[in-house]
Amino acid sequence: MFESIAYAAGAPAGGNPIGAFLPLILIFVIFYFLLIRPQQKRQKKHQEMLAALKAGDEIITSGGIHGKIDKVLDEQTFLVEIANGVKVTLSRSAVATKMNQSEGKGEQ
């Protein structure tokens, strides 16, 4: 009597192995389209903005300091004027955003 129960419990599942991984695949696809892909687009746009910076552009640093690029020293550093006569050397990677001309006019 117990032998038949033991054989039934030890029998392998006859289902499709892809069906077991389908929920994991769907979760990965959802994460890709909702999290990974938008982050990659934002990062690419930020890199393009950093590459296009030039003298005269108004910027905001990652520390929140507003300034105007006075001079491009080399590929990775700028001379930024943060107040009248106050200039600091800033790394390109420290720039958070570039202010649009319309934003700069509206704040004053």
DSSP string, 20-55: HHHHHHHHHHHHIIIIIHHHHHHHHHHHHHHHT--T
pTM beyond 0.75, yes or no: no
Per-residue pLDDT of the chain (108 residues; tens, 9 = 90+): 555 555 555 555 567 778 888 999 999 999 999 999 999 999 999 999 999 999 999 999 999 999 999 999 998 999 999 999 999 999 999 999 999 755 544 443
Domain ranges for the chain: 16-52, 54-107
Domain 54-107, what fold?
SH3 type barrels. (2.30.30)
